[in-house]
A and B are shown apart, each in its own frame.
Chain A
Amino acid sequence: MPTVAEALTPAAAPARPSVLPSLLPFLGILGLAALLPLSGNEYWAMIGTRAAIYWVLVSGLNLVVGYAGQLAIGWVALLALGAYTASVLAAGNLGGAPWPAFLATAAAGLVGAAAGVVVGSPALRLRTFYFAMTTLGFATIVTQVALAWQDVTGGGIGLPGPAFPAPFDTAWGFYYLCLGLAALCTWMAGNAARSRFGRALVAVRDAEVAAEANGISKPRLLVTVFVFAGATAGVAGSLFAGLQTYITPEAFSFDLSLLFFISILIGGRGSILGPLLGTVILTLLPEIAAPLAAWSTALYAALLLLIVLAIPGGIAALLDFRNRRPLESNRAIATRPALLGALLPEERRRGEGLALRGIVLAFGGVRAIDGLDIDVHPGEVHGLIGPNGSGKTTTLNVISGYYRPQQGTLALGGAPLPAGAPTLRAAHGIARTFQTPRVVGEESVLDNVMLGGTVEGRAGFAEALLALPRQRREERAMRERALAALRVVGLESLAEARADRLQHSELRFVEIARALALRPAFLLLDEPAAGLSTEEIRRLGALIRAIARQGTAVLLVEHHADLIFDICDRVTVLNLGRVLAAGTPAEIRSHKEVVSAYLGG
C-alpha cells in the first residue's frame, strides 16, 4: 500500500518543516544578548542579568499559564522560596557547613519543584478564580513566614545571597551564567511545548473533554508541568538572590509576580517567543521610562487591560504572519478512503466486540437510558437512531466513560470495561467525535490531529524536555501518522492552518482524522453528517464504510436516515432510552412502530 500512498500524495503536502526559520528570532535575541558587554556599562549587565533570571522563571511558568491556561498569579512565592533556600544553605543557617553556591542552586531547584506541586495542586480541583486566589495566598504566606522565621531567614533584616565562584563573580561573568541558563530553559521549554505534552496542555486548556477522550489525564499532566515550573522558579530564585547579594522579604513583592504573569499574557498564549519578548520588554520598560518607575505597577496593569481588551492574542498573534495569509476560498473536502490501508494496517488488534448489557442511567427522575443492550462488532457500521432525547448521545457518553451508569455492564472482547474513567478509553482503542466539533482553535490542524496519537507516546516528560532520541523518533512517527490521517480525510493542504480558521464541515473531518490517528478499534461518531452538504455526506458515508472494512467497529449516531440505511450493517432504534427495534437496515425500514414513531409514513 505505501506505493499507492506515495502516488496519491499531493505535491503540496507539507514535508517536515525546516526548524531554522522558527529558530531565527531566538538566535537573534541570544546574539544581541551576547553582545551586551560591548556597551561596557555594568548597569546594563545588571538589567540584562535580571531579564535573564526573570525569563528562567517565566519559561517554566509559561507552560502553566500560557499553555495549560492556569492563572497562577502568585508564582513569586516560588522565586522567594528558591532564593531563601539557596541563601540559607549557602550561609549555613540551618546548621552544618555552608553549601557551595551551585549546590545550593540545585537544592533551590529541587525545593522549587516540590513546592510547585503544592502551590499548583489546587488547580486540579478548583475553578480559575479560586486557583488564582490560592496562589496569591501562597505568595503572601511565604513572605510572612520569611519575616517571622528570623533565626533562619534574618526576618526583615534579611540575609546575604549565595556568592557564585569565579569566573561568575564579576558582573559580566554572572550575566553570562544567567544568559546560558536562560538559553537552556528556552530550549527545554520549547522542546516540551512542541512535544505531545505541549499539545496535551493546550488541549486541556481549550478542549478538556476532547483531551480526556484522547487519553490525556489532566491531573498527571498538570503536576508534571508544575514540577518543571517550580524547578525553574527555584533556580531563578537562587540566581536572583545572587544578583541582589542581599535579600529581604520586601524584594518578593506582588508587583514582581505581576511582571511574570503579565509578560506571558502580553507575549500571547501558547507561544515561547512572545512571552520571551514580553519578559524583556517589561524588564526594560521602567528603565527606559525612568520617570514612570513609581508608576510601574499601574503601567503593567494598563498594559494588561489593553492586551485583554484589544489584542487577546498578544505579541505572538501580531507575529503570526503565516496565519494572516488568506486560505483558499474554494475548498472541497476530497476524502481518499483508498489511503486507509496505510493508516489502519490489517494486523491491528481486532476480533473484539463491544457489548453493553442492561445499561440504566438516570438523571434525577429521568431515565435517559433504561435497560439497554447493544453489541458492536468489528468491521461493522452500527447505526444508532431515534428521536431527540431517546438516549443516543448519552449511550456514546456511557461508552466513552463520561457518564457512569447506575446499572449494567460494559465489556470489550469479553473483558469488562470500567464505567466512568474517560481517560482510559483511548488506550483501549476507542476513539470518538463530538456533536459540536471539539478542536483546539488556536493550534494548527496538524497539531490537533496529532493529539489523537497522544496515548501511544512512551517517552516521558524528561525525555521531551531534552529532546532525546526516543522522543524525536516518536514525534516523527506521530507526525507521519497524523499527516496520513489528514490525507485520508483530504485536508492535508490545511495541515499548518490554525484550526479556528476552518469551516464547520472541515472541522468535522479534522475530528475524524484525529480519531483515525489513534488507529481505533472502535470509532464512535456523534452526528458526523450534521451541517454537511449532500456531496460531503456522500463522501463521509464512503469513508465510514471504508474505515469499517479495515476492521474497525463503528457506532454511528445520526439523524440522516438515508445515510444510516445506506452504510449501516446493523441499526438500533432507541426510544425513551429503550431499544424500539434492532436489525438490518431492511428490517428496520419495514418495522411498523419505527416507521410510525420516527421515520414517518
Chain B
Amino acid sequence: MLASILASGLAMGAIYALIGITYNTMFATSRVMSFTAGQLGMLGGVLGSLFMLRWGLPPVLALPLTLAAAALFGVVTEFVAVRPVLKSLEQHLYVLSTLAVALLVQQVVAIEWSTEPQPFPRLLGIGSGVWDEKYWLPVAACAATVLGLEYLYRRTLVGRAFVAVAEDNYAARALGLPERNLRIASYALAGAVGALAGFAGGQLLLAFVANGPLLNFYGFIPVALGGLGNNRGAVIGGLALGLFQQAANFLAGGIFASVAVFSLFIVVLLAAPQGLFGAPAARRV
C-alpha cells in the first residue's frame, strides 16, 4: 500500500505542482491570479483525448497540438480578461474577469465535449503496477518543466527579461523591455505548462470537464503554501499536497481526504498568509 500511496501521491502532486507553476507564470508578469489555471489542465486532458481518440492522431502529434491550442487560449485570456483590468489592479477585477473566461471555457467543453469523464489513451505503453507510466509521466513532465524553466530564466535573454519584469515592472519598462509582449508570451507559456499537466496526467484524471475547478483549487494550494511566484515552493507544496491527499484517501476514504486537505489548507493559510516560503507584505501608508 505504501508503494501505491507514494506512486499516486507523487503523480497527483506533480500535476498540482504544474498547475501551481501555471498560476505563478501568469502572476509573474501581470500580478494577476487567474482562474483559468485549472481549466488549462482540464483542456490538456480533453484536447489530448480529442486529438488521439476521436481524430486518431499519434501522441507525437497530439502533444504539440494540445500545447499549442492551450497556449493560444492563454494568449486569448491575456487579451480578453487580463489586459483590460490591469489599470485598476487594486480593485481585483481580474478575479471576476478570469473567472468569467474560465466558466465560459468550462461550459463550452461541458456542452460540446461531455459532462462525463471520457477515456484518455495510454501514451507509451511502458511499465506496470506502481511503475506504470500513468504514475511517472506527470513526475517526469514536472521535472522537465522545472528544469526547462530554470534554463529559460537563467541562461536565455528572454528568460532574464521575464525575471526582470517579474521583479520590477516599472524598472523593466524603463529599461526598454517589451513588457507587453513578455506578458503575452508568459500567458502562452502558462497555457502550455497547464495543458502539459493535464496531458501527462490524462490517464489518472481522464478527459473530464470537472477537472477544471478541481485543479483550480488543488493547484492553488501549492501556490498558497509555497508563496506567490515561488516555483520551487510550488513544487515542494504540490508534492506534499499530493502525498498527504493520497495517504488520507487510502487510509480514510475520499470525503475525509477532501475535508482533511481543506482544513489543513485553511489552517496553514491562516497561520502563514504569505505561504511557508513567501515574503512579508509591503508597507501600506
Cβ contacts under 8 Å, A265 to chain B: 96
Cβ contacts under 8 Å, B103 to chain A: 258, 297-298, 300-301, 304
A117 to chain B, nearest CB (A): 14
Cβ-defined contact, A402 with B285, below 8 A: yes
Cβ-defined contact, B104 with A298, below 8 A: yes
Cβ-defined contact, A295 with B107, below 8 A: yes
A365 to chain B, nearest CB (A): 16
Identify which of A69, A73, A127, A302 contacts B273 (C-beta below 8 A).
Answer: A127
Contact with A along B260-285 (1 / 0, CB 8 A): 00100110011001000000000011
Contact A309:B213 (CB < 8 A) given known A144-B259, A145-B259, A298-B104: no
Interface presence of B75 (CB below 8 A): no
Cβ-defined contact, A141 with B258, below 8 A: yes
Interface presence of B217 (CB below 8 A): yes
A138 to chain B, nearest CB (A): 8
Contact A304:B270 (CB < 8 A) given known A129-B33, A144-B259, A294-B111: no
B215 to chain A, nearest CB (A): 13
Closest to B91 in A: A312
Q: Which residues of A (128-143) have their CB < 8 Å from a CB of B?
A: 128-130, 132-134, 136-138, 140-141
CA of A132 to CA of B224 in the docked complex: distance in angstroms? 13
Among B81, B103, B111, the most chain A Cβ lie within 10 Å of the Cβ of B103
Cβ-defined contact, A134 with B99, below 8 A: no
Identify which of A130, A141, A148, A301 contacts B100 (C-beta below 8 A).
Answer: A301
Cβ-defined contact, B224 with A308, below 8 A: no
CA of A308 to CA of B106 in the docked complex: distance in angstroms? 19
Identify which of B101, B265, B270 contacts A137 (C-beta below 8 A).
Answer: B265
Cβ-defined contact, A308 with B97, below 8 A: yes
Cβ-defined contact, B273 with A132, below 8 A: no
Contact A295:B111 (CB < 8 A) given known A126-B269, A136-B217: yes
Identify which of A129, A137, A141, A309 contacts B84 (C-beta below 8 A).
Answer: A309
Cβ-defined contact, A141 with B262, below 8 A: yes
Interface presence of B92 (CB below 8 A): yes
Interface presence of B52 (CB below 8 A): no
Cβ-defined contact, B95 with A128, below 8 A: yes
Cβ contacts under 8 Å, B104 to chain A: 298, 301-302, 305
Interface presence of B68 (CB below 8 A): no
B91 to chain A, nearest CB (A): 8
Cβ-defined contact, A133 with B217, below 8 A: yes
Cβ contacts under 8 Å, A126 to chain B: 269-270, 273
Interface presence of A510 (CB below 8 A): no
Interface presence of B85 (CB below 8 A): yes
Interface presence of A71 (CB below 8 A): yes
Contact A305:B258 (CB < 8 A) given known A122-B266, A130-B224: no
Cβ-defined contact, B273 with A305, below 8 A: no
Interface presence of B220 (CB below 8 A): yes
B271 to chain A, nearest CB (A): 9
CA of A396 to CA of B278 in the docked complex: distance in angstroms? 30
B233 to chain A, nearest CB (A): 15
Among A71, A73, A132, the most chain B Cβ lie within 10 Å of the Cβ of A132
Cβ-defined contact, B95 with A132, below 8 A: yes
Cβ-defined contact, A254 with B213, below 8 A: yes
Identify which of B95, B262, B273 contacts A129 (C-beta below 8 A).
Answer: B95
CA of A561 to CA of B269 in the docked complex: distance in angstroms? 49
Identify which of B97, B99, B101, B217 contacts A140 (C-beta below 8 A).
Answer: B217
Interface presence of A458 (CB below 8 A): no
Cβ-defined contact, B107 with A297, below 8 A: yes
Contact with A along B101-134 (1 / 0, CB 8 A): 1011011100100000000000000000000000
Interface presence of A125 (CB below 8 A): yes
Interface presence of B93 (CB below 8 A): yes
Cβ-defined contact, B255 with A148, below 8 A: yes
Q: Which residues of A (297-340) have their CB < 8 Å from a CB of B?
A: 297-298, 300-302, 304-305, 308-309, 312
Among A134, A294, A397, the most chain B Cβ lie within 10 Å of the Cβ of A134
Contact A133:B81 (CB < 8 A) given known A141-B262, A145-B259: no
Cβ contacts under 8 Å, B106 to chain A: 297
Identify which of B107, B111, B284 contacts A209 (C-beta below 8 A).
Answer: B284
CA of A144 to CA of B249 in the docked complex: distance in angstroms? 14
B57 to chain A, nearest CB (A): 28
CA of A304 to CA of B84 in the docked complex: distance in angstroms? 14
Cβ-defined contact, A305 with B213, below 8 A: no
Q: Which residues of B (55-96) have their CB < 8 Å from a CB of A?
A: 80-81, 84-85, 91-93, 95-96
Interface, chain B (partner A; CB < 8 A): 33, 80-81, 84-85, 91-93, 95-97, 99-101, 103-104, 106-108, 111, 213, 217, 220, 224, 255, 258-259, 262, 265-266, 269-270, 273, 284-285
30 contacts between A and B (CB under 8 A): A71-B95, A125-B273, A128-B95, A129-B92, A129-B95, A130-B224, A133-B224, A134-B266, A137-B262, A137-B266, A140-B217, A147-B255, A208-B284, A209-B285, A295-B111, A297-B103, A297-B107, A298-B107, A300-B103, A301-B99, A301-B100, A301-B103, A301-B104, A304-B99, A304-B103, A305-B81, A309-B85, A309-B97, A397-B285, A402-B285
Among all A-B residue pairs, the 8 with the closest Cβ atoms: A301-B103, A305-B100, A298-B107, A148-B255, A129-B33, A304-B100, A128-B92, A301-B100
6 further interface pairs, Cβ-Cβ under 8 Å (given A69-B92, A122-B269): A122-B270, A133-B220, A140-B258, A258-B103, A301-B107, A308-B96
